[in-house]
Amino acid sequence: MVRKKDHFWEYVEELDGRFKCNFCERDFAGGAPRIKSHLAGVKGRDIDICTKVPDDVQAEAYLAIGGHSKKLKITSSSSNVEQSKKMSTSMSNDLHQTTILEMCKKKDKSAVDKLLTQHIILNNISFNVVQTPAFIRFVQGVAEYGHGYKLPSYSTLRTKLIPNSRIEVEEYISNVKKSWVTTGCTLMSDIWSDMKQRAFINIIAYSPGGAVFMRSLDVSQERKTGFFLKQIISAVIEEIGPNHVVQFITDNATNFESAGDMLIGKYPHLYKTRCAAHGIQLLLKDIYEEVYWVQKVIDDAKSIVSYMYKHTIVLSLMRAHTNNKELKHPCTTRFASNFLMLQSILNVESELRLLVASSDWRGLDYSKKDIAKEVTNIIQSTEFWSQGHEVLLVLEPLVRVLRLVDGDGSTAGYLYEAMERAKEAIQQRCGNNQEKYIRMWELFEGRRTQNIIHPIHSAAAFLNPAYMYSGTFTENREMKEGISFILENLVALEEKIEFMGQVQLYRMKLSSLFTETAMTMLKTSHPRIWWDYCGDSLPILKKYAIRILSQPCSSSSCERNWSAFEAAQTKKRNRLTPKMLDDLVYVRMNTMMMEKFNTLEARDVEPIDLDKLNELPEHEYVSQEQDIENDTLSEGVENINDDVIDDTDLSWLN
């Protein structure tokens, strides 16, 4: 009779008088002793060893068959000497691991850290996994559960736990789709191209109820035409329901522009806007390239950062003087990173001045080079610091607008006001020195009209009751044109007269509408929530106000998530059927969307305070290459991860 109490049966699938290994999926006759020999990697029971067993399971099996206390039978072969060396090394590792586990029992944190490090290195896991909420929750959960926790088997993970996660994702998607009846949704799409002339097209539907990944296509570069994009996006619109799609956000690519125009022709109640975050980035790029004094300050700042991180000894000396405060590295394609880089340098002005004046700095051989002398002169220059503060003062209003729109949330009702504030700030600076700032003002006006503000944003500002009732609100021509745009393009024919009548009642700020409850909610609720609760007396206007105010201004959610598709394109997964691959991407990306929505859900029902916008998230705008050693190591790990073969059985996707 098979002794099923031996826990090594967890690592195999029991057949009739045989067993099948969960790791290599080969089947053999026999019981627990042969299972342990198979998993331990030790020949001697006339059974092949497992080549895919995890290191921890192999070590456990090795100890179970006497890895410490007795000689194990080694099969004689031409590799006898090599096998003996492996056994000797394995026994040494056993003793080492036992010592670490004993240290863990004594709550020695360094021992646990060492186990984590080994796990990350041996499994080619990206270092930044330790910063992810999911990993942190897992570690905390294991700690709360206690030492009795046992990892699920490979079979349990494959056949039960992962399919259960799909059920949860589908419930989330179903709830989001129900919310589209009231708020509608925004379609956002982007294209990412690789070096192999392939293009990945992602399509995401966003609403206050959450974001849903709809589809991703892997196509050749030649097929990225406007007509092709229009066809695939039309298919998604039909799947969602044309009445539920309010907005389509594009970037400046010609193919997206033409696709958007064709979509509007087919779906007249859909409006097309450009990604506001992309527009702000383009404006910051324009200012850097065309305003000379801004460019000089930023280039000087880049020279400082580049030199400080070029040599280990220079970097160590800088850190000693700045008390380990780091300088931010700019990202090539995100021009807001120039602002954060310059800000990080100005924050340690005194420390950097003392650094280049110190005997330690002068004693370095590196300091005698021309580039070092140039950096020293920049840091010792009073003009650099004064101009640096002026650049921050000028760019800060634009960075605040970027912080508003470059993320998740219903921001349509706030973009116009935020840009008005930025315009006023730049106008004030232009008044002080017209010649110095006039080009910046021209660039601002050009990008504002061409790439950032759409008539719908002007109308959304008018429909934001908190802004409309504020002392800074002034109804202008742009807002009237925005209301006309809604009337002509979005409002049903039979509702047009009532819509305009209710617009006039709203702009009169009737006391029956702006009750004490409504006035209180201006300070506590997002504009779409205000209309939902307080707008019953203006039902037609309420319906359109909620749908417009529920939309975002940028396609940032889509742009940041293309990597999930690429992650599925490993060598092993490339051999999956297209259906299985599509399902894997769909589940994984919607899990990411669900994870993000769970952290943002409460925030999107509150009003946005434009005076209290947080700083841009560094992980989005600043290069993480903070020192020479880490640059090299992380680059190597990323290259390794690109080549990892995932042996997971994905049959559950079918």
For the ranges 33-47, 232-246, 527-541, the lowest mean pLDDT is seen at 33-47
pLDDT of residue 70: 42
Q: Which residue has the higher pLDDT, 312 or 85?
A: 312
Which residue type, as a one-letter code, is found at position 385? W
At residue 401 the predicted structure's pLDDT band, cuts being 50, 70 and 90, is very high
Which residue type, as a one-letter code, is found at position 321? H
Pair 184, 207: CB distance under 8 Å: yes
In Å, how far are 305, 325, 339, 353, 511 from 318, measured between CA atoms? 11, 9, 21, 11, 62
Tell me whether strands 210-220 and 245-250 are parallel, antiparallel or unpaired: unpaired
Residue 75 predicted with pLDDT over 50: no
Q: What is the DSSP string of 574-630?
A: GGS-HHHHHHHHHHHHHHHHHHHHHHHTTGGGSPP-GGGPPPPPHHHHEE---SHHH
pLDDT of residue 573: 46
Strand runs labelled E in 256-342: 271-274, 329-330
User: Which among 86-95, 189-198, 530-539 has the top mean pLDDT?
Assistant: 530-539
The predicted-structure confidence for 155-208, as pLDDT tens digits, reads as follows 887 778 877 888 888 899 999 999 999 999 999 887 666 555 666 778 899 999
pLDDT of residue 335: 81
Q: Which residue has the higher pLDDT, 593 or 46?
A: 593
Fill in the DSSP letter of residue 123.
T
User: Which among 189-198, 335-344, 549-558, 602-611 has the top mean pLDDT?
Assistant: 335-344
At residue 223 the predicted structure's pLDDT band, cuts being 50, 70 and 90, is low
pLDDT of residue 78: 37
Tell me whether strands 27-29 and 18-21 are parallel, antiparallel or unpaired: antiparallel
For the ranges 14-18, 27-31, 58-62, 102-106, the lowest mean pLDDT is seen at 102-106
At residue 631 the predicted structure's pLDDT band, cuts being 50, 70 and 90, is very low
Fill in the DSSP letter of residue 651.
G
At residue 103 the predicted structure's pLDDT band, cuts being 50, 70 and 90, is low
Which residue type, as a one-letter code, is found at position 589? M
Dist CA 184 CA 206 (whole Å): 9
The predicted-structure confidence for 406-420, as pLDDT tens digits, reads as follows 877 899 999 999 999
Pair 204, 187: CB distance under 8 Å: yes
Fill in the DSSP letter of residue 275.
-
Fill in the DSSP letter of residue 160.
I
Q: Which residue has the higher pLDDT, 332 or 148?
A: 148
For the ranges 14-28, 41-55, 188-202, 406-420, the lowest mean pLDDT is seen at 188-202
Pair 238, 260: CB distance under 8 Å: no
Dist CA 22 CA 50 (whole Å): 10
**How many H-runs (helices) and E-runs (strands) does the chain carry?**
31, 10
The predicted-structure confidence for 538-555, as pLDDT tens digits, reads as follows 999 999 999 999 999 988
Mean pLDDT on 222-241: 81
The predicted-structure confidence for 488-526, as pLDDT tens digits, reads as follows 999 999 999 999 999 999 999 999 999 999 999 999 999
pLDDT of residue 240: 93
Domains, the chain, with CATH or none? 7-103 (no CATH), 162-272+569-608+627-653 (3.30.420), 275-453 (no CATH), 455-558 (no CATH)
